[in-house]
Structure 1
Amino acid sequence: MTEGRIDPRYGDASATAPAWDDIARLLTDAQLYWIVTVRADGRPHAVPLVGVWHDGAFAFCTGADEQKQRNLDADLHVAVTTGNTGAGGWDAGRDVVVEGTAVRVTDPDDLQELADAWFEKYGDDWHFAVRGDEFVELSHSGGGTEGGARVYRVAADKAIAFGGDHGQTTYRF
């Protein structure tokens, strides 16, 4: 089990750190995430995307010609964020940043398991089939796509939770 450490510079050291299971549930239930990749020249690139928190890691997909993919070709380090502070303010919400290294998923069985997880979470809005070593979109908002999508998993090296009565809590893996 992963234990969080409250940073006393940014939170109440006497508070109880959120249980990792609560943070993992937030990551699982989120509908939208933001991913930050690094361009070849070192500039950050941030975009919203859908994904799944599955078996303790974040999974996402990207087309071969997308900026994310070009960035991953140069640097596999990423940060993924999600949360709900905007809706309820600092005291009511909780936001999470997961830092890690993206690893391409190419095994057909692993890809099928992730495609099933996407379908279970998003239904027909994001319905994928496995073709070779990538996803092919069966439906998205009423349409499909000809090209495939490469799938990546990001296991957390570090996660930081913000908000609530704890302030800032760091989890290391």
Structure 2
Amino acid sequence: MPYEWTTPDGPDGPKAELHLWPYRSLLRRDFVIFISLTAALVLVPLMAVIGSPVLWGILPFILLMLAGIWWGLSRSYKDGEIVEELRLWPDRIELDRHDRKSGHRTWAANPYWVQVKMRQDGPVPNYVTLKGEGREVEIGAFLSEEERAALYDELLGRLARLAATPGEAP
């Protein structure tokens, strides 16, 4: 799962913390291996035309293709640099979203009044939102459909335990 619950230490700290991030199927190390293997496989057929003018006609397009793959994968990594942090206190719930495109955004509310909703008519199936303080914010929109459903159940459980036992960790 591309999210994890933690219980921070300290009497004044939050009772629970949730960290969410987009799933990465291609790690940075694998990115270099993929580009290297793609370049090697594409350059193998060029061995037959080494020394002929045909090489200079084909080579720019092959280099352009490799640069396009490199740029596309790099852009995907940069667009996926999203981290959401949800912190729960007995009297406050706080959501921080660190995003490359829109910067840092924060939302806070009293957990007693917060509603966790899962909608099917959102931009993605099982769209999970938190509503409180007159504002509704999304959480985990980059997760898969099943992960958002599991997150919804976990959020409901954590908030219910937080309301039932305000002095203990949810």
Q: TM-score normalized by structure 1?
A: 0.26
Higher relative contact order (CA 8 A, sep 6+): 1
Pick the structure with more strand per residue.
1
Pick the structure with more helix per residue.
2
Q: TM-score normalized by structure 2?
A: 0.27
